[in-house]
Amino acid sequence: MINNYIETFSKYQGQLLNAFIETIDMMFTAMVFTILFGMVFGFIMFITRADGIYRNKLMYFLVSGVLNVLRSIPYILFIIVIIPFNRLLIGTGFGVDASKIPLSLIGISTFARFVEQDFLDVNKNIYETSYALGANTLQYLTHFLLVEARSGLILSFTSTTISLLSYSTVMGIIGGGGLGYLAISEGYQNFNYSLMWIIIILMIVLVHFVQTTGNTISRKYDKR
């Protein structure tokens, strides 16, 4: 049985490597957009919510509403309905590059909610302290909120990354490729269950690695 797995691994190692690179490619772009925009939208929601420092019902409703819509559409349907948007943005609806768009959007909507929650967990009096020390709103974000929320944000980003890894496995339906697509097309649909299990084990190792790394970094930066 083990020999069968070793044989399959040897036979498909080239394809596995390509699929792994495709997954990393999709993930990297999505993670960059997720951290940038997720942080911005999370901060906007945090300051505009009912008890926020710049209370603005309309702004909160709009940002929160759009993020909720993105998260509530079943992901496999979301990938399909967003194809015209992919075309509009990068000129094609299919392929690895097009896959990065829905993956980034779902990452942003998930992470922004985490960011809002992580900021809410920070001692509320810190805003008054920042004001009393002469900081403006941006300095409040960079020198106070991010400093105090950093370990929570690292864990939240870790969870989002793992979710993105899971979402990336279905990108095959628009030609996104990746490990998940290889497991389904070459493994499950071609009755090559050894390949499917090899990829499942690879994904488990990958998730474990991401989570352990996230936990370690978070612990390192948590001095509270």
Partner 1 sequence: MIKIENVSKNFLINGKEERVIIDFNININKKEIFGLVGETGSGKSTLLRMLNGFIEPDCGKIYLMDRELNKESKHELVRDTSMIFQDFNLLGNLNVLDNVLLATKFRKGNKEDLIKRAREILEFVGLSDFERSYTRTLSGGQKQRVAIARTLMTSPKIILCDEPTSALDDKMSYEILKLLKEINEKFETTIVIVSHDISVIKALCSRVAIIEGGKIVEVLSLNPKEIHPISYKEALISD
Residue 10 within binding range of partner 1, rule CB under 8 A: no
For the bound state, the minimum distance from the C-beta of residue 110 to partner 1, rounded and expressed in Å, comes to: 24
Q: Are 179 and 23 in contact (CB under 8 A)?
A: yes
* Least distance to partner 1, CB of residue 89, Å: 38
Residues in contact with 136: Cβ distance below 8 Å, sequence separation at least 6, in sequence order: none
CB of 36 to partner 1, least distance (A): 22
Q: How many residues in total does the chain contain?
A: 224
Stretch that binds partner 1, among 99-107, 146-154, 155-163, 195-203 (CB under 8 A): 146-154
List of residues 6+ apart from 36 with CB closer than 8 A: none
Among 57, 143, 208, 220, binds partner 1 (CB under 8 A): 143
Q: Using CB under 8 A, which of 80, 83, 126, 162 touches partner 1?
A: 126
Compute the distance between CA of residue 178 and CA of residue 167 in angstroms, rounded to an integer.
Answer: 11
Instruction: Give 77 or 132: the residue with its C-beta nearer to partner 1.
Output: 132
Q: For partner 1, which residue of 76, 128, 173, 209 counts as binding (CB under 8 A)?
A: 128
The span from the CA of 121 to the CA of 79, in Å, is 33
Q: Which tokens in the block code for residue 126?
A: 């810190």
The dihedral built from the CA positions of residue 205, 24, 210 and 163, taken in this order, carries a sign that is: negative
Segment 185-224, which members bind partner 1 (CB under 8 A)? 221-224
Identify residues 149-178 at the interface with partner 1 (CB under 8 A): 150-151
How many residues touch partner 1 under the rule CB under 8 A: the total is 22
- Contact indicator for 205, 164 with CB cutoff of 8 Å: no
**Member of 14, 58, 134, 191 binding partner 1 (CB under 8 A):** 134
The CB-side HSE value for 176 (13 A sphere, CA atoms) comes to 31
User: Under the rule (CB under 8 A), what is the footprint of partner 1?
Assistant: 123, 125-126, 128-129, 131-136, 139, 143-144, 147-148, 150-151, 221-224
